[in-house]
Amino acid sequence: MLNAQFSPGELAMVHSFLEGTKNCTQCHEVGGKSLSNGCVECHTPIKMRIDQNRGFHKDKQEDCGKCHPDHNSREFKLVHWEKGEKNFDHLNVGFDLTGEHKNLECRKCHIEKNIVESSVISWINKYPNEPISERTLLGVANTCNGCHEDIHRGEVSQDCASCHTTKDWKQSRNSFNHDLAKFQLIGEHKKVDCEECHVVDQLRKPPIMQLTDLEYQTCGSCHTDIHKGAYGNKCEKCHTTEKGWIKNLIPFDHNETEYPLQGLHINQDCMACHTEELAGLLPSFKQCSDCHVDKHGGQFVERNDKGACESCHTVDGFIPTTYSFADHDQSRFKLDGSHFAIPCVLCHKPIEDGSLINYAQFKWAVLQCNSCHTDVHRKQFTQRNNPLLCNDCHTTQTFLMAKF
């Protein structure tokens, strides 16, 4: 009964060190009921917030004991959550919870390592024997880096909200405006996954894309030069970033190369010569056979010109040939008489020995009449003791006029 005249009951556990009649005036004013002055002398961070008109207590000028009554036993909770701690409206403290923050437990953020405010840290250190840091909700930073690790390691701005949201921080890749970067995305670059250029550094924990110090000055910074340096590093002279880097070639003047296009070559599809097998390397073009199959099957390789195609053909077409009667006179078989009127194809027929199917014959081991003509005399004159040749009786003017 005697103690009850001095103390209405046990203090809460957090204030138990103030138990005893000698400590009453540390909280209570003599002759007064208000606790406010006594409370803020210890709870200095709260006083500072009231003075600065910020935080949950900014407009709480009334008696602290109205909300935090003490002397109700050691187990009494001095903080009363009107709607429950989980339902506390965080907007009341000036920091609205949005996105994924709404689903977090309070102590995910309000922990000792996240306390950065100097006044709160000083208050905690003032009472080293009390677990204040485990209980207080004050002093936590209201910036992203106050709670979250800067996984970009200072590569980019500390203003996380310029790229990320609290709903899903990975969504930034879909909404990021690359026009604000040093490398604007155009054409097919807009469809490329971020990781294709911003390679994920697996050595980082957690693994994260590299965002800065990337080489991008030339196409070769990212793309393999399939031309092996043959055309320099100015890819944009010929290519665009639009779909189909081959089909969408910028009009190319082949006359500026070592092989100007002429004749039928002008209308050829690029890939007919610059095939995929070449993998971007230059095709050989010193002689026709570098691209074209020898339709004569090597029959002319023993000629002085080694069977050079241009001796008979032009780039305007394989047919007609430029080979003339005058050229034929220089061959092993000079044309005369009726041979002048014979179409070429009647003599130069496809070879049927299986080795050069569909190749016209231009080379004969023996050049005699029976190389082309059937012996209508059925060998009557060739089997004589003194065999007769065709030209012993006939001329090239006409078969019917014999010299016999």
pLDDT at 356 over 60: no
Phi, psi of 191 (to 5 degrees): -95, -5
CB-based burial, 134-160: b 16+ in 10 Å, e otherwise: eebbbbbeeebeebeeeebeeeeeeeb
Confidence of residue 62 (pLDDT cuts 50, 70, 90): low
- Identify the weakest region by mean pLDDT among 283-287, 392-396, 400-404: 400-404
Phi then psi dihedrals of residue 354, to 5 deg = 90, -15
pLDDT surpassing 50 at residue 56: yes
Q: Is the pLDDT of residue 171 over 80?
A: no
pLDDT at 131 over 90: no
Q: Give strand ranges (E) for 142-234.
A: 200-201, 208-209
pTM given for the model: 0.54
Cite the beta strand spans of 205-354 per DSSP E.
208-209
Tokens matching residue 17: 């060190």
Residue recorded with tokens 């600065």:
52
Q: What percent of the chain has pLDDT over 90?
A: 29
Distance CA 111, CA 118 (A): 15
pLDDT digits (tens, 9 = 90+) for 201-235: 888 778 888 888 888 888 988 898 888 887 788 88
